[in-house]
Protein backbone atom coordinates (compact mmCIF):
# COMPACT_ATOMS: atom_id res chain seq x y z
CA UNK A 1 0.00 0.00 0.00
CA UNK A 2 1.13 3.56 -0.62
CA UNK A 3 1.49 4.39 3.08
CA UNK A 4 4.19 1.77 3.48
CA UNK A 5 5.88 2.88 0.23
CA UNK A 6 6.09 6.55 1.22
CA UNK A 7 7.30 5.76 4.72
CA UNK A 8 10.07 3.57 3.29
CA UNK A 9 11.16 6.29 0.86
CA UNK A 10 11.11 9.03 3.50
CA UNK A 11 13.10 6.95 5.99
CA UNK A 12 15.64 5.89 3.36
CA UNK A 13 16.17 9.52 2.29
CA UNK A 14 16.69 10.60 5.89
CA UNK A 15 19.36 7.88 6.20
CA UNK A 16 20.96 9.15 2.95
CA UNK A 17 20.44 5.87 1.06
CA UNK A 18 20.77 5.82 -2.73
CA UNK A 19 18.36 2.97 -3.50
CA UNK A 20 15.39 1.44 -1.71
CA UNK A 21 13.24 -1.58 -2.59
CA UNK A 22 9.47 -1.72 -2.20
CA UNK A 23 6.71 -4.20 -3.03
CA UNK A 24 5.04 -3.88 -6.41
CA UNK A 25 1.42 -2.84 -7.06
CA UNK A 26 -0.37 -0.86 -9.78
CA UNK A 27 -1.39 1.94 -7.44
CA UNK A 28 2.15 2.29 -6.11
CA UNK A 29 3.44 2.47 -9.69
CA UNK A 30 1.12 5.39 -10.48
CA UNK A 31 2.17 7.18 -7.30
CA UNK A 32 5.86 6.63 -8.12
CA UNK A 33 5.29 8.11 -11.59
CA UNK A 34 3.84 11.23 -9.95
CA UNK A 35 6.78 11.44 -7.54
CA UNK A 36 9.25 11.25 -10.45
CA UNK A 37 7.34 13.95 -12.36
CA UNK A 38 7.32 16.22 -9.29
CA UNK A 39 11.02 15.48 -8.56
CA UNK A 40 10.63 13.85 -5.16
CA UNK A 41 12.58 10.79 -6.39
CA UNK A 42 15.01 10.31 -9.30
CA UNK A 43 13.35 7.26 -10.82
CA UNK A 44 12.22 3.69 -10.32
CA UNK A 45 12.42 0.36 -12.06
CA UNK A 46 10.23 -2.72 -11.83
CA UNK A 47 12.30 -5.87 -11.24
CA UNK A 48 11.86 -9.54 -10.43
CA UNK A 49 9.58 -12.29 -11.65
CA UNK A 50 5.81 -12.20 -11.32
CA UNK A 51 5.07 -13.51 -7.80
CA UNK A 52 8.00 -11.61 -6.25
CA UNK A 53 8.04 -8.35 -8.21
CA UNK A 54 9.44 -5.24 -6.57
CA UNK A 55 10.34 -1.65 -7.32
CA UNK A 56 13.91 -0.46 -7.09
CA UNK A 57 13.64 3.26 -6.36
CA UNK A 58 16.55 5.63 -6.97
CA UNK A 59 16.61 8.46 -4.44
CA UNK A 60 18.29 11.84 -4.73
CA UNK A 61 21.78 12.04 -3.30
CA UNK A 62 22.64 14.25 -0.34
CA UNK A 63 23.93 17.24 -2.32
CA UNK A 64 20.56 18.03 -3.93
CA UNK A 65 17.69 19.91 -2.33
CA UNK A 66 15.05 17.59 -3.79
CA UNK A 67 13.46 14.81 -1.82
CA UNK A 68 10.71 14.18 0.66
CA UNK A 69 10.82 16.19 3.88
CA UNK A 70 7.34 15.38 5.12
CA UNK A 71 4.25 13.27 4.45
CA UNK A 72 0.76 13.67 5.86
CA UNK A 73 -1.71 10.85 5.24
CA UNK A 74 -5.16 12.41 4.91
CA UNK A 75 -7.40 9.45 4.04
CA UNK A 76 -7.21 6.29 6.07
CA UNK A 77 -9.08 3.00 5.61
CA UNK A 78 -11.48 4.00 8.37
CA UNK A 79 -11.87 7.65 7.30
CA UNK A 80 -12.04 8.60 3.63
CA UNK A 81 -11.75 12.29 2.79
CA UNK A 82 -13.37 13.46 -0.45
CA UNK A 83 -13.08 16.99 -1.79
CA UNK A 84 -14.44 18.84 -4.85
CA UNK A 85 -11.94 20.39 -7.25
CA UNK A 86 -12.84 23.95 -6.22
CA UNK A 87 -11.58 23.31 -2.66
CA UNK A 88 -8.18 21.92 -3.72
CA UNK A 89 -5.52 24.32 -2.43
CA UNK A 90 -1.71 24.51 -2.71
CA UNK A 91 0.28 22.61 -0.08
CA UNK A 92 3.07 24.43 1.79
CA UNK A 93 2.74 27.57 -0.35
CA UNK A 94 3.15 25.52 -3.55
CA UNK A 95 6.23 23.53 -2.47
CA UNK A 96 4.21 20.38 -1.84
CA UNK A 97 1.46 18.44 -3.56
CA UNK A 98 -1.69 16.57 -2.65
CA UNK A 99 -2.24 13.26 -4.38
CA UNK A 100 -5.89 12.76 -5.31
CA UNK A 101 -7.59 9.58 -6.49
CA UNK A 102 -10.14 10.71 -9.09
CA UNK A 103 -12.39 9.05 -11.62
CA UNK A 104 -9.70 9.84 -14.23
CA UNK A 105 -6.91 8.18 -12.25
CA UNK A 106 -4.43 9.24 -9.60
CA UNK A 107 -3.17 12.80 -10.06
CA UNK A 108 -1.81 15.81 -8.18
CA UNK A 109 -4.00 18.59 -6.83
CA UNK A 110 -2.74 20.90 -9.61
CA UNK A 111 -3.73 18.45 -12.35
CA UNK A 112 -7.11 17.74 -10.76
CA UNK A 113 -7.85 21.45 -10.53
CA UNK A 114 -7.00 22.00 -14.22
CA UNK A 115 -9.15 19.03 -15.30
CA UNK A 116 -11.93 20.11 -12.88
CA UNK A 117 -12.29 16.76 -11.11
CA UNK A 118 -12.46 16.13 -7.40
CA UNK A 119 -11.91 12.92 -5.52
CA UNK A 120 -10.38 11.26 -2.50
CA UNK A 121 -7.29 12.96 -1.09
CA UNK A 122 -4.77 10.21 -0.35
CA UNK A 123 -1.88 12.21 1.14
CA UNK A 124 0.01 15.50 1.16
CA UNK A 125 3.76 15.47 0.50
CA UNK A 126 6.39 18.18 0.63
Question: What would the CATH number be for the domain defined by 71-125?
Answer: 3.30.1490.10
pTM: 0.89
Alpha helices in 1-74 (DSSP H): 2-14, 26-37
**Parts of the chain belonging to CATH 3.30.1490.10:** 71-125
Give the Cα separation of 73 and 19 in Å (integer): 23
Tens digit of pLDDT for each residue in 73-105? 999 989 999 999 999 999 999 899 999 999 999
Q: Which position has the higher pLDDT, 103 or 64?
A: 103
Instruction: Give yes or no for a contact between 33 and 45, defined as CB atoms under 8 angstroms apart.
Output: no
**Do strands 43-47 and 82-83 pair parallel, antiparallel, or not at all (unpaired)?**
unpaired
**Parts of the chain belonging to CATH 3.30.1370.30:** 2-58
pLDDT of residue 117: 97
Question: What would the CATH number be for the domain defined by 2-58?
Answer: 3.30.1370.30
pLDDT of residue 47: 95
Q: Helices 26-37 and 2-14, interaxial angle, to 10°?
A: 40
For the chain, percent of residues with pLDDT exceeding 90: 83
Tens digit of pLDDT for each residue in 20-32? 999 999 999 999 9
Amino acid sequence: MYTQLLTKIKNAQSLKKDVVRAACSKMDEQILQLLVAEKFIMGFEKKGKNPKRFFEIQLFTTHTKHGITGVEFVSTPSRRVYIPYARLRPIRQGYGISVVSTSKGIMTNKQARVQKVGGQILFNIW
